């Protein structure tokens, strides 16, 4: 039996939402409002339509009360919480508005955590469909489709793309056009006196400003248009896109303004740097004689601005991106080649010269747009929601899942707290030690800790996007830059509180950790300026590592190179450099190992698991199975040496004597840095092999912090957010220094990333 929506079935939208400045948010607001209108309701917290809003900042936005739940896009766990919230609500269907850039993670893959956990039918509207996606983009979108009961595209082109590129059957896809306001067919002079442009010809482009919009082409075209129509005025309406502004400020807008001035067009081109409400936007559109979308990329499957223009009966000149080709077919507009100001100008002039032609184009567009007004679009969505609910019910009844396998979730994780990190950090960097929770300045600062702290700050920003971590990162990077000896290009480690460097016999490990942090900055940080900063430092200090003898230092360096190559995969020399370092470690393993000793040295000391981690990561990256297998073999051996007799918890090698060949391991002083290394290494091993032995070990290792250890005491300090420095024979070390805290945070971030992927045997 099908389910009818006439009973006002509850719908929840997962998307961005106003007042966040985002085209997807505007779309969601208009669609949700139109569905509420169909129910005879206003959008509110007491209605049958609600919003789960995606935030790009921790403090969120000042939403209206129809927003029932907020998600930090950088926090993967928030998506699971949102699913849990919806699962317990009376929502009958979820409408996901999909765009890669709004959901956090790599290519928006945090959304998959939500889709794994949701227990309601999902209808996903795809606002971007790439013809040539990366492997991961294709995987993400395909999984979104697989886990949705129905899929909606905004143009017919999308149906074919999903079938040909993403293997999504056409029967599961519905085309529903982008919605638009229902506005009468008015003469363009209707509001011109309101804008004080009576008697002028108005050209208009609106929307969030970004370099892919091709406004510079339109400005070039205007230089030609005004020669014949000197009273023409081109208005570019809209603020700079928030992501563009965050990364490049107003650079693009200022470039355009300079071009206008240089061409003498200041009386013919105007920038209205505003985000206007719908009523005012409608006036702008009604007034426009010609609407322009000179976009630069063909791969655009939708455009809300073009939908509005067509539905309101505008004479449009556009480049032939996919959406424009469909909407402007059959005489509903003029298409011109990409980046061709001459053709653009000629098309504009033809429309301005020929009033009958312009009016004919307008009428054809307006008539076509009648099926795009929001009330019609809302009705179509209601039909899709009905089919999705019916399909989902049949699926559940038949115990047949078409939504793909669900990942088991891990137990709840502690909240991430940066209180102690901020406490230990001053204007120089992070202090090395603490007396209980108070920074102990007698011990100064180290490159080791500031490199780890930089990695923590980068990872925190990737997960949660919080400003405090970004500010802290600057402190750590400034320290690391200062640590480089400008003459020798060696990396110094220990800086006293009086700001003098202490000479040390060996700095290999700190040099390697420095490169690991810089590689992480290059590969994982989204800030272009910081990428350049990291690249310069990385390249300047790489050469001295050629002489390294320490396997750990080589491992840290390789881990940094692997991250660096995410950005610069074509850097063949650096790739060969890492292979040479790893081959040296493999050679040491072969020469030094026996049946009961699988290690490149005669003692197992400190942060040991980084050595096999590097071999696994690099062997998997370059396809060297022997290298990877030596890493896996060494990691298994190391794990066996550090499990208690029952295999239920870690009893890690202590600093008080280590483990020497032919001897017994030191049971204490156990330190968190070894646990963090094991967690990362086990994850990399699982990622390379799919062997759940390693995946389960990540949870076993993490629980060491929470009391599953030789003393049965919690090492993490829930009150301060710090981490105690280790386990002595009869007590926990109450000091909460930098290395312990950073090891805890790195471990916690790894577990947050694994949330939803961890599975018990």
The DSSP string of 636-666 is HHHHHHTB-TTSSSB-PPPTTT-EETTS---
Assigned domain for 148 exists: yes
Residue 760 scores a pLDDT above 60: no
pLDDT, tens digit (0-9, with 9 covering 90-100), for 518-535 = 999 999 998 889 999 999
Cα-based distances in Å from 439 to 468, 717, 732: 19, 16, 18
**Residue 234 shares a structural domain with residue 119:** no
User: Is 379 found in the same domain as 350?
Assistant: no
Is 538 part of a structural domain of the chain? yes
Strand partners, 11: 49, 93
Residue 411 has pLDDT above 60, yes or no: no
In a domain, 403, yes or no: no
For residue 159, the number of C-alpha atoms closer than 13 Å in the C-beta half-sphere is 11
100 and 242 housed in the same domain: no
pLDDT band of residue 396 (cuts 50, 70, 90) is low
At residue 46, the pLDDT reads: 76
Q: Do 434 and 294 share a domain, yes or no? A: no
Neighbours of 373 (CB within 10 A): 18
If you average pLDDT over residues 137-144, what whole number do you get? 96
The predicted-structure confidence for 258-286, as pLDDT tens digits, reads as follows 999 999 999 999 999 988 888 899 999 99
* Same domain, residue pair 517 and 631: yes
pLDDT (0 to 100) of residue 460 = 92
CA atoms within 13 A on the CB side of 194: 13
Give the mean pLDDT of 371-392.
93
Residues forming beta bridges with residue 52, ordered by sequence position: 14, 69
Final residue in a domain of this structure, among 371, 387, 410: 371
For residue range 662-703, what is the model confidence (pLDDT) as tens digits? Answer: 999 999 999 999 999 999 999 999 999 999 999 999 999 999
The 10 Å Cβ neighbour count of residue 150 is 24
Predicted structure pTM score? 0.65
Range(s) of the domain holding residue 388: 5-179+374-397
Task: Give the tens place of pLDDT for each residue, 494-513.
Answer: 999 999 999 886 789 999 99
Residue 326 lies in a domain: yes
* Residue 602 pLDDT: 96
**Average pLDDT of every residue of the chain:** 91
What is the predicted pLDDT for the residue at 445?
97
My answer on whether 168 and 52 are in the same domain is yes
Mean pLDDT across 633-641: 96
* 3-class secondary structure per residue, 48-80: CEEEEEEECCCCCCCCCCCEEEEEECCCHHHHH
Residue 42 has pLDDT above 70, yes or no: yes
Vertex 59: Cα angle to 53 and 65 (nearest 5): 45
Q: Tell me which residue of 303, 302, 335 sits closest to 319, measured CA to CA.
A: 335
Residue 4 has pLDDT above 50, yes or no: no
Q: How many CB atoms lie within 10 A of CB 453?
A: 29
Q: What is the pLDDT of residue 311?
A: 95
For residue 403, pLDDT beyond 70: no
For residue 194, tell me if it sits in a domain: no
Same domain? 691 vs 731: yes
Residue with the bigger pLDDT between 263 and 45: it is 263
Distances (CA, A) of 589 to 161, 331, 562, 598, 627: 50, 72, 21, 7, 10
Structural domain count of the chain = 3
The dihedrals phi and psi of 481, each to the nearest 5 degrees, come to -60, -40
Contacts of 605 (CB under 8 A, 6+ apart): 653, 658, 659
Q: Say if residue 406's pLDDT is above 50.
A: no
Give the residue from 271, 278, 164, 150 showing the smallest Cα distance to 216.
271
- Which string of b and e fits 120-149 if b means at least 16 CB within 10 Å? bbbbbbbbbbeeebeeebbebbbbbbbbbb
Q: Characterise 663 by phi-psi region: left (phi > 0), alpha (psi -120 to 50), beta (else).
A: beta
The two three-digit tokens of residue 474, written as one number: 């600057």
Establish if 413 belongs to a structural domain. no
Separation between Cα atoms, residue 93 and residue 284, nearest integer Å: 36
Tokens of 465: 């996007």
Helix axes 528-541, 508-524, angle to 10 degrees: 150
| Residues 720-747: tens digit of each pLDDT | 999 999 999 989 999 999 999 999 999 9
Indicate whether 90 and 22 sit together in one domain.
yes
**Would you place residue 412 in the very low, low, confident or very high pLDDT band (cuts 50, 70, 90)?**
low
Q: In sequence order, what are the beta bridge partners of 484?
A: 491
Segment 555-573 shows an average pLDDT of: 94
Distance CA 68, CA 48 (A): 12
In this model, does residue 399 exceed pLDDT 60? no
Provide the CB-side half-sphere exposure for 108 (13 A, CA): 23
Indicate whether 635 and 504 sit together in one domain: yes
Residues 452 and 480 in one domain: yes
The whole-angstrom separation of Cα 469 and Cα 452 is 13
In a domain, 188, yes or no: no
Cα gap 666→689, rounded to integer Å: 31
Q: What is the pLDDT of residue 7?
A: 54
pLDDT greater than 80 at residue 753: yes
Nearest Cα neighbor of 620 from 701, 559, 710, 697 is 559
Helix or strand run (H / E) with residue 732? strand 732-733
pLDDT in tens, 413-425: 888 899 999 999 9
Q: Average pLDDT of 64-92?
A: 90
Gap between the Cα atoms of 490 and 492, Å rounded: 6
User: For position 400, what pLDDT does the model report?
Assistant: 33
Which one of 355, 371, 387 terminates a domain? Answer: 371
CB atoms within 10 A of CB 60: 14
Q: Tell me which H or E stretch contains 749.
A: helix 738-754
Mean pLDDT of 524-553: 93
Segment 453-488, tens digit of pLDDT: 999 999 998 888 766 788 899 999 999 999 999 999
Confidence of residue 761 (pLDDT cuts 50, 70, 90): very low
Would you place residue 3 in the very low, low, confident or very high pLDDT band (cuts 50, 70, 90)? Answer: very low
Q: Are 200 and 231 in contact (CB under 8 A)?
A: yes
**Residues 559 and 694 grouped into a single domain:** yes
Considering the domain boundaries, does residue 568 fall inside one? yes
Same domain, 113 and 211: no
Q: Residue 645: give its domain's CATH number.
A: 1.50.10.10
Q: What is the CATH number of the domain that holds 215?
A: 3.40.50.2000
- Residue 216 makes CB contacts below 8 A (sequence gap 6+) with 255, 256, 259
The answer, yes or no, to whether residue 165 has pLDDT greater than 50, is yes
Residue 5 has pLDDT above 90, yes or no: no
Residue 6 pLDDT: 45
All residues at 6 or more sequence positions from 373 whose CB lies less than 8 Å from its CB, including other chains? 179, 180, 181, 182, 311
């Amino acid at each position: 039996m099908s389910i009818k929506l006439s009973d006002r079935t509850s719908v929840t939208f997962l998307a961005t939402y106003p007042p966040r400045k985002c085209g997807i948010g505007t779309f969601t607001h208009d669609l949700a409002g139109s569905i509420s209108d169909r129910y005879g309701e206003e959008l509110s917290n007491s209605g049958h339509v609600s919003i789960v809003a995606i935030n790009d900042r921790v403090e969120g936005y000042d939403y209206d009360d129809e927003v029932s739940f907020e998600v930090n896009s950088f926090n993967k766990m928030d998506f699971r919480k949102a699913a849990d919230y919806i699962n317990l609500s009376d929502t009958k269907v979820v409408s996901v508005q999909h765009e890669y850039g709004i959901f956090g993670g790599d290519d928006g893959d945090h959304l998959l955590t939500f889709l794994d956990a949701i227990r309601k039918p999902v209808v996903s509207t795809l606002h971007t469909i790439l013809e040539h996606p990366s492997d991961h983009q294709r995987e993400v979108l395909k999984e979104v489709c697989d886990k949705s009961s129905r899929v909606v595209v905004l143009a017919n082109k999308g149906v074919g793309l999903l079938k040909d590129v993403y293997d999504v059957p056409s029967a599961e896809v519905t085309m529903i056009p982008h919605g638009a306001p229902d506005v009468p067919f008015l003469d363009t002079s209707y509001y011109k006196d309101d804008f004080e442009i009576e008697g002028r010809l108005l050209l208009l482009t609106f929307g969030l400003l970004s370099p892919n919009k091709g406004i510079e082409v339109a400005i070039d075209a205007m230089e030609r248009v005004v020669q014949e129509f000197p009273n023409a005025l081109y208005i570019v309406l809209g603020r700079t896109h928030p992501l563009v502004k965050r990364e490049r400020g107003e650079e693009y807008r200022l470039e355009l303004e300079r071009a206008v001035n240089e061409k003498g067009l200041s009386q013919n081109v105007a920038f209205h740097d505003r985000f206007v409400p719908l009523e005012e936007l409608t006036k702008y559109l009604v007034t426009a004689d010609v609407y322009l979308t000179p976009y630069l990329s063909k791969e655009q499957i939708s455009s809300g601005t073009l939908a509005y223009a067509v539905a309101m009966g505008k004479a449009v000149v556009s480049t032939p991106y996919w959406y424009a080709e469909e909407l402007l077919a059959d005489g509903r507009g003029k298409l011109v080649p990409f980046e061709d100001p001459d053709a653009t100008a000629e098309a504009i002039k033809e429309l301005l010269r020929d009033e009958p032609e312009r009016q004919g184009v307008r009428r054809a567009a307006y008539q076509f747009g009648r099926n795009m007004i929001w009330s019609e679009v809302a009705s179509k969505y209601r039909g899709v929601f009905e089919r999705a609910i019916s399909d989902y019910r049949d699926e559940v009844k038949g115990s047949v899942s078409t939504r793909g396998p669900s990942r088991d979730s891990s137990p709840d994780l502690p909240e991430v707290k940066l209180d102690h990190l901020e406490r230990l950090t001053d204007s120089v960097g992070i202090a090395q030690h603490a007396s209980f929770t108070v920074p102990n300045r007698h011990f100064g600062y180290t490159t080791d800790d500031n490199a780890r702290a930089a990695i923590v700050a980068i990872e925190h920003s990737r997960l949660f996007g919080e400003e405090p971590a970004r500010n802290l990162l600057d402190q750590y990077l400034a320290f690391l830059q200062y640590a480089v000896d400008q003459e020798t290009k060696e990396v110094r480690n220990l800086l006293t509180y009086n700001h003098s460097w202490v000479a040390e016999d060996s700095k290999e490990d700190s040099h390697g950790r420095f490169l690991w942090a810089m590689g992480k900055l290059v590969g994982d940080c989204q800030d272009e300026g910081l990428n350049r900063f990291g690249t310069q430092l990385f390249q300047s200090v790489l050469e001295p590592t050629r002489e390294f003898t320490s396997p750990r230092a080589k491992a840290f360096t390789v881990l940094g190179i692997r991250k660096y190559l995410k950005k610069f995969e074509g850097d063949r020399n650096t790739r060969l450099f890492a292979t040479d370092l790893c081959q040296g470690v493999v050679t040491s393993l072969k020469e030094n190992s026996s049946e009961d000793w699988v290690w490149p040295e005669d003692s197992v000391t400190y942060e040991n698991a980084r050595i096999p981690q590097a071999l696994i990561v690099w062997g998997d990256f370059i396809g060297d199975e022997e290298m990877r297998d030596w890493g896996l073999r060494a990691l298994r051996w190391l794990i066996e040496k550090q499990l208690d007799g029952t295999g239920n918890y870690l009893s890690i090698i202590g600093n008080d004597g280590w483990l020497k060949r032919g001897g017994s391991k030191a049971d204490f002083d156990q330190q968190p840095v070894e646990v963090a290394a094991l967690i990362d290494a086990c994850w990399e091993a699982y990622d390379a092999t799919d062997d759940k032995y390693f995946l389960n070990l990540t949870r076993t290792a993490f629980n060491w912090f929470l009391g599953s250890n030789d003393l049965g005491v919690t090492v993490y300090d829930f009150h301060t957010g710090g981490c105690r420095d280790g386990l002595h024979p009869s007590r926990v070390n109450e000091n909460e220094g930098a290395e312990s805290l950073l090891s805890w945070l790195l471990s916690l971030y790894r577990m947050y990333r694994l949330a939803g992927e961890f599975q018990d045997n």
